[in-house]
Amino acid sequence: MIMNNVINGVPLNYYILLSACIFTIGVLGVLFRRNAIIIFMCVELMLNAVNLLLVAFSRYLSDSSGQVFVFFIMAVAAAEVAVGLAILTMIYRNTKSTDIDMLDKLKW
Amino acid sequence: MITKYIFYFLSVLVIFSAMMVVFSKNPVHSVLYLIVTFFGIAGHYFLLNAQFLAAVHIIVYAGAIMVLFLYVIMMLNLNKEAEPHKPVWVKFAAVIAGGLLMITLVGSLRGAETMMKVNPANEQIGLVENLGKALFGPFLLPFEISSVLFLAAMVGAVMLSKKEIH
């Protein structure tokens, strides 16, 4: 028994709303905090919001391409975190802090 | 239906722990709340019948990425509340900007449900067999290129964390 555009009693719009909430929380965290590690975590939150939305669309449209994209996003996120945390430890080694407001040399 | 209530429970859990990631003072607590968020999202994947992605999500995020974060936080000894805070007006502006983004996203959703023609007939879409056929069929080239990306990321991480030779 498959109802039209509803899976398990949950319409697709609820997933879009949930993803919008998670994405907004990620953006808020990037704007709100000064610790570079927390900002990385908020970037991960934003990527996960996009992942959730892709999986929901893929399931509701019966198209497996969306889930393959999620797979690739996970791969890119893992690479990004590895390189980013390496850069962060280098910054910490030089400035003894992970405060992003110290890193304003490239600012005009 | 019970799955509806599981959806609501997981959504509240995910949003609450995501908020706690942003607002908790101690970075270690942020990482722990982020793990809770990732498990909630994995639960959503299970609800959407994407078992393969749920397993990969738990392995990659809760298993690998979070360990990396915790490792760096503990290595840099950041598990204390020594972080200086942004001035109040910057925080206020951040909340306003986030709220505006939320309003824009939700507002752009109005009327979108009439345009979407959904077809959730195939329940097997998230299983390993279907995903494998898609991944090694039409997406074979991006899959191989992502391995080059991993190699580049690995070399980059090692180069960055190496001591400079004088």
Higher pLDDT, A72 or A11: A72
CATH number of the structural domain spanning residue A50: 1.10.287.3510
Q: Counting every residue, how long is chain A?
A: 108
- HEC string for chain B: CHHHHHHHHHHHHHHHHHHHHHHCCCHHHHHHHHHHHHHHHHHHHHHCCCHHHHHHHHHHHHHHHHHHHHHHHHHCCCCCCCCCCCCHHHHHHHHHHHHHHHHHHHHHHCCHHHHCCCCCCCCCCCCHHHHHHHHCCCCHHHHHHHHHHHHHHHHHHHHHHCCCCC
Cβ-contact B5, B61 below 8 angstroms: no
A15-38 average pLDDT score? 90
CA separation for the pair A94, B14 (Å, rounded): 36
Looking at residue A2, what is its pLDDT? 43
Residue A96 DSSP class: S
CA angle A11, B4, A25 (to 5 degrees): 70
pTM of the complete model: 0.89
Residue A107 domain-assigned (yes or no): no
- What are the tens digits of pLDDT across the range A86-108? 988 888 888 877 788 777 878 77
Nearest CB to A68; choose among B120, B135, B161 = B135
A45-73 average pLDDT score? 90
Which domain range does residue A68 map to?
Answer: 11-99
A94 touches chain B (CB under 8 A): no
End-to-end Cα distance, chain A? 61
Helices (H), A36-64: 36-61
Nearest CB to A8; choose among B4, B78, B86 = B4
Residue A106 domain-assigned (yes or no): no
Q: A10 in helix, strand or coil?
A: strand
The most confident of A23-27, B84-88, B106-110, by mean pLDDT: A23-27
A66-85 average pLDDT score? 91
Interchain proximity A41–B69, CB inside 8 Å: yes
Q: A3 in helix, strand or coil?
A: coil
Looking at residue A3, what is its pLDDT? 44
The mean pLDDT of chain B is 85
Cβ-based contacts of A35 with chain B (< 8 Å) = 27, 78, 83
Residue A56 domain-assigned (yes or no): yes
- At residue A1, does pLDDT exceed 60? no
- At residue B1, does pLDDT exceed 80? no
Residue A68 domain-assigned (yes or no): yes
Multiple choice CATH, B1-82, 1.20.120.1200, 3.90.226.10, 3.30.450.40, 2.60.40.420: 1.20.120.1200
Interchain proximity B3–A13, CB inside 8 Å: no
- At residue A6, does pLDDT exceed 70? no
| Best of B31, B61, B85 to mutate (most A CBs within 10 Å, chain A) | B61
Interchain proximity A38–B19, CB inside 8 Å: no
B33 touches chain A (CB under 8 A): no
CA separation for the pair A80, A89 (Å, rounded): 14
Q: Which of B29, B34, B51 is nearest to B42 (CA)?
A: B51
Looking at residue B11, what is its pLDDT? 93
- At residue B33, does pLDDT exceed 90? yes
Q: What percentage of chain A exceeds 90 in pLDDT? A: 41
Q: Nearest chain A residue to B102 by CA: give it.
A: A24
B129-151 average pLDDT score? 90
B31 touches chain A (CB under 8 A): yes
CB pairs under 8 A between A and B: 238
| Best of B35, B49, B76, B100 to mutate (most A CBs within 10 Å, chain A) | B76
Nearest CB to B22; choose among A16, A32, A55 = A32
B86-101 average pLDDT score? 87
CA separation for the pair B72, B82 (Å, rounded): 16
Q: What percentage of chain A exceeds 70 in pLDDT? A: 93
Q: Which residues of B50-79 are buried (b: 16+ CB within 10 A; e: fewer)?
A: bebbbebbbebbbeebbebbbebbeebebe
- What are the tens digits of pLDDT across the range B34-63? 999 999 999 999 888 888 899 999 999 888
The whole-angstrom distance between A79's CA and the closest CA on chain B is: 6
ipTM (interface predicted TM)? 0.88
Residue A85 domain-assigned (yes or no): yes
Count of domains for chain A: 1
Q: Counting every residue, how long is chain B?
A: 166
Cβ-contact A45, B37 below 8 angstroms: yes
A41 touches chain B (CB under 8 A): yes
Looking at residue B39, what is its pLDDT? 93
Residue A32 domain-assigned (yes or no): yes
Higher pLDDT, B87 or A77: A77
